[in-house]
Structure formats: C-alpha cells, structure tokens
Chains A and B, each alone.
Chain A
Amino acid sequence: MSQIQYQFPPPVTTLDWIVVAIYCVIVFIVGSIQHRYIKKSWDWMLGSKKMVFWLLAIAYFTILFSAHDILTYTEEGYLIGLASIQMWWDDIGWILIFLALLPILYYGGYTTSAEYLEYRFGPAARLVGAICIFWFVFAIMGFNFYAAGITLEVFAGIDRFWGMLIFAIITTVYAALGGIFAAVLTDLLQALVIWIVGTMILIPGLATVGWWDGLFASTPLPSRSFFTAPLHPDFPALGMFFAGGLAITGAWYFFNQANLQTNLAARTLNQARIVTLLFACVLMPFGSIYMGIPGMIVRALVEKGLIPPLPNTAHTFFHYVAIFAATPGLMGAVLAYFLAALMSTGDLYVVACSSTFVNDIYRRFIVKGKPEIHYRRMLLIMALILGILGSIAWYQFYVRVPYLAQALFGSTPAVSPAMCLMLLAGMLTYRAAPTATWIAGAAGVIYTLLCFLVPDIFLAPFTFGLWPKGGSWWFPGFACFVVTVVLLFILTPFFKPKPKEVLKGLVWTPRLEELEEMYFKAVAEGKRGIFVHEW
C-alpha cells in the first residue's frame, strides 16, 4: 500500500468558514432568545424543573462530549489505544450509588451539592464544598477553552491563549443570557451535529484500516487493551483509576454542578434517575467510539507505514481530520462539530460557575436578604466574569505537563475525593460528625493545593515511585482521597454527631414515601424542596 499524502494543517476554504459562521449564528440566536423565558433565578439555574428527561439526557451527554475530550482522547488513542475510552466506561459503581442517593438531593430542593452540605454539616462544610466545585468547574471549563485555543492555533495561527479567550467570551455571553434553558436547547442542536458529523468522519477512517479487525490487527499489543500497565510512566492504570474511576467520576455524578443542574431540572425523581441511566449506560458508552478510536486509526496508519509518526501528538485529531475530512464544506462541518463539542460543554459550565458562586458564596456569606432581581442580575454578571476568569486560571499548568490527558486529569478531579467523601459520609451514615467531616474535607483540599505548589514534597509520596515523570500528575486525587479518608476515620470518634431526629431527609432512608410527602407539602407551600425555601 502506498503512503497517504495529506496537508497539515488541513486547508480551510471560504466555504468552510461560511459553514462555521452559520452554525455559530444559529446557536447564538437559539441560546440568547431563551432569555425571555427567565423570570426568576431558579428558572436560570434549574429551568423550574420543567425540562423533559430525554432532552436532559442529551444535554448531559453533550456536557461530557467536549472539545477537550476530543483532543485529549484522540491523543490517548494514538499513544495507548483502547485504554483511551476507559474513562467513559468506568462509572458503574458511582452510577448506582448516585441513583440510590439521588432522592436526598432531589427532594431537598438544593441547587448545588454544597447547599446540601450546609444543612447536613453546617456553613463551614458548605464553604469547603463550594471551593471543591469551583476547583473542578474552573479547571474543566478552562481546559475546554484551552482545547479551543489549540484549535485556533493550528487552523488560524492565533496564539492559543488568545484563541482560548475568544471562545470563552462567545460562549459566556450566550450562556449568561439564557441560563440552563439556553444551554439545554442549544445542546440538542449540538448533539445532532456531533452524531452526524462524528459518524461521517469516523467511517472513512475505519474503512481505510479494515474496520475493527484491521484496526486491532494493526495496533501494538498493549494498545489493544482496555487498561494500560499499572505504573506506565505517562498513563499508569493506577493513576488513571484514581483520577478517572475514583475522582472525576465521583465528581461527575455527585457535584459536577453542570450535571447536577441538568439532573435536578427533571420533572420527577424517577425522570431524574432515567436521565442518569440513559446518559451513563447508553449515550456515554456509545459516544466513546468518537473519542479514542480516531487516535487508534492514526496509530494503525503509522504502524502500517502509511503516514510518518506524528511530531506533536496533541494534534492527533487534526491529523485525522486532515487525512479523512479535508474537503471543502466537510471541513467546515468538522469545525462546527468541534465547536458544538466546545460550546455545549462550555455553556453549562459557565451556568454552573455562576450558580455556585451566587448560591453558595455570594448570597450565603456576602450579601444576604436582597430582592430576587438582585440575585438574578448577579447570576448574569458573575457568569460573564467567572466564565472568562475560569478559562484562564489553569493556563500555566496546562502548558507545562507533557500530555493533554495529564493536564486534564491532574487538574480537574484533584479535590473531588474530599467533596465526594463528605457527601457520602453525610448521606450514608448518621455517625458523620459535622466538625470532623468539614475539617477532613478542608484538609484534603489544602493538601491537594500543596501537591500543586510543592509537588516534590507533597505529591511525590503518593505516586508509587513515578515522580517526577509525567504520569505523576494522575495522582493528586489519590493524595486528596488518602488525607480525607484518614482524617475522617481519626477525627469522627472525637466529635459529636447531630441527633437523628434533625437528620430526616438528609441521610438515606428506606422510607421514600415520607420524603415524598415532605417534599410535596413543601412545594405546595411555595418552597423549592424539603429544606430550601424559594428565594
């Protein structure tokens, strides 16, 4: 077979830019006009619990299907093969425990998980929780825009920092105007683009390497496995489990504010559960084929000698596009596909950032008791400010680590274990004492921060000898997990838990009908849920 000739970066014609511009205008208009449906801050954040379950499941999927995932997992597919889709399949324990505990969050009427922590453990726990949510959302939103910056760098020669800012501003404006209504409705449009264009560019690649058989036969033995070696220097299976299966997945269901808002916007508890199931067991595994597989296809072409090894693996996706989609019009569709993935994730994170700040910090600790219109305005203003700030906060870290996946999984889930453990302790046991729990959570967060500031001392002991290799950056979440668990076990016996009577609705109970009764009574009285009153 002769060598494949292709131009890199792939040429973008005027027709392609027209396709991209049309797409952007449609999304912007659809998103922005949702502004007129926003009457209260609750509409902005939870769509007043009027959203249908299948639309929410699709929105849930598009949050996951992000621009940074496309670049990251395609690079991983090239480097480690099938293990690149692992992060999309390793959720089952978390999915089931989240489904079991969802009634507590749904009937409580909370907007954020941090709000739950206040009712369960007091204001200090809420502050720790809000910090965890911020950390996660800032990092993941910033990485999403960073991926956009890389794209503009490849296609237009614009420095990735400025490219990142341009996308951050566009996404932030339309998300700020429409809140969750805008995010969910534009996500439907974006999901269609993702599925159609994703399939259009995947099929020629698979056909070229000889479909699945040809693909697996052309890739090296370790690249055909679902797991890498436990202590691989760059992609250790242990680290991928800690950062993925343990930390980011826990965060994904329990306190990723964008997801939680999508889930809690469902009309009923059972619909909220179906949203999670549809997403986690159908849409996510199905969507994983668009992620790592293009990278595996590029690797197979290299192994067959059809193209030379890639000089910069972060550009694997663009090489794939250059080989299989570099025709006028289709290239524009591919850029729209990438933009769809970028904006569908970015918009919900912008909403999430603002909701968390206004709900958990501004309204709770800074400015109390103002009229509803004041908080609604703050949601808009903070969406604009935080959306842009969040996109640049982690920039320096992203450019320093060797591979995209290390940047993503080092930064985003780092403090997740602290938050997840506080939530699990609160929901599963009456014995969890407020003081012990928030101290353990805060210590986990502080220790994780130290891991980033002085990694030689604080991160190295948790990397199983991998430090200072790039693979070490998969382990900050493990450090946070160990510190929080150890302190929870040590401190809990020394502090007094709250009496059982006041924990009704805050700790798991088999008597769901009692919770339902309390919830509907609260709703009839104009409250948001059992614990949270309407603003």
Chain B
Amino acid sequence: MIRPSLISTILLLLLMIAFPISSINVFAEAKEAKLCPYNPTKDPIPWLTEYSWHIPWGIVALILMWKEGFIGLKTRPQKIMLVILLICFIFFPAIEAYWHFILPAQYPDLPTYKDTRGIYYVPCP
C-alpha cells in the first residue's frame, strides 16, 4: 500500500532543497558589476523545480491507476490507456527540457536589444 504522507514529505523536502539552490544567482549578482542576459541553458533549477513536483505525483498516480485497473497489461483498453498515459508522462518533461536547455542555444544571440523590458540580467559567465 502506498503511503501518501511519506510521499508528500519527500516531495516537500525536494522542493525545499530546490529553492535555496535557486537563490544562488541572486547572491552572486550583487557582487558582480558586468551583467549579461540570463542564459537559461546553463540553469537547471527552473526545470528541476517544476518536475520535482510533477514527476513524483505522476508516478504515484500511475501506480494508483494500475492498482485500480484503469491501466495495465491484461486487456486492450488497459494497454491503450497505459501507452497513452506513459507517452504523455514522458512527452511533457522531455519537450520542456528541450525548450529550456537546447532550443535557446540553437540560434545566434542578438548583438543589441532595442527594448530590454522583460530581460533579466545576471553576472556574465
């Protein structure tokens, strides 16, 4: 039997670990004078924060649905639903990782910014 209270505690701990790490950027920023636009490809924190919440809940949910019989390997509807849910479960974290870590670096950076609103500056690497 799953222990939801244990899972919630682990989730909470994961989140609590992710937050202090994420504040490193800001502390470093105060010491540096030269700033560059934030480079997402070098910072895993946003993606990790997001999925330290979604992945554990997704796993819990898949286990519950397996035990209930909504997904499984016995009947055709069960297999179809299993495949659909697994595809969804893999697709969303994967596409978001691609859009965060890979896509931004695939295009050359602009030399100048005519309107800088919305761009967050951090210490240059």
Residues of A within 8 A of B (CB): 78-82, 86, 89-101, 103, 213, 216-235, 237-238, 241, 245-246, 273, 277, 281, 299, 302-303, 305, 309-310, 313, 424, 428-429, 431, 464-465, 485, 489, 508-510, 512
Contacts and interface: CB of A to CB of B under 8 A. Distances in A.
Interface string B64-79: 1101111000000000
8 contacts: A96-B58, A96-B62, A100-B68, A221-B39, A231-B22, A234-B118, A246-B53, A303-B115
B54 to A, nearest CB: 3
Interface in B73-100: 84-85, 88-89, 92-93, 95-96, 99-100
B61 A99 contact: yes
A49 B106 CA distance: 49
Interface string B104-117: 10111110011101
B88 A281 contact: yes
A87 to B, nearest CB: 11
Nearest to B61: A96
B117 A93 contact: no
A238 B19 contact: yes
B33 interface: no
Contacts of A489: 9
Nearest to A421: B8
Contact of A303 (B49, B103, B110): B110
Given A224-B103, A229-B25, A217 B108 contact: yes
A510 B2 CA distance: 11
A220 to B, nearest CB: 6
Given A90-B54, A230-B49, A238-B49, A221 B106 contact: no
Given A216-B106, A512-B69, A232 B61 contact: no
B48 to A, nearest CB: 10
B32 to A, nearest CB: 15
B115 A241 contact: no
Contacts of A89: 92, 95-96
B54 A93 contact: yes
Contacts of B89: 92, 96
Contacts of A230: 22-23, 25, 43, 45-46, 49
A92 B120 contact: no
Contacts of B8: 424, 485
A241 B46 contact: yes
Q: Residue among A80, A96, A424, A431 with the most chain B CB within 10 A?
A: A96
Contacts of A90: 50, 54, 92, 96
**Among B41, B58, B118, residue most surrounded by chain A Cβ atoms (within 10 Å):** B118
Interface in B17-67: 19, 22-23, 25-26, 37-41, 43, 45-47, 49-50, 53-58, 60-62, 64-65, 67
Given A97-B60, A216-B106, A485-B12, A92 B54 contact: yes
Given A224-B40, A226-B100, A237-B45, 15 more contacts: A90-B96, A96-B88, A216-B103, A219-B110, A220-B110, A220-B119, A222-B40, A225-B40, A227-B47, A228-B38, A229-B38, A229-B43, A237-B22, A303-B115, A512-B70
B88 A225 contact: no
- 5 tightest A-B contacts by CB? A93-B54, A79-B118, A227-B46, A225-B40, A96-B61
Nearest to B67: A510
A94 B89 CA distance: 11
A229 B115 contact: no
A403 to B, nearest CB: 9
Contacts of B125: none
Nearest to B5: A429
A302 B88 contact: no
A229 B106 CA distance: 19
Contacts of B54: 90-94, 245
A245 B67 CA distance: 26
A93 B37 contact: no
Contacts of B5: 429, 431
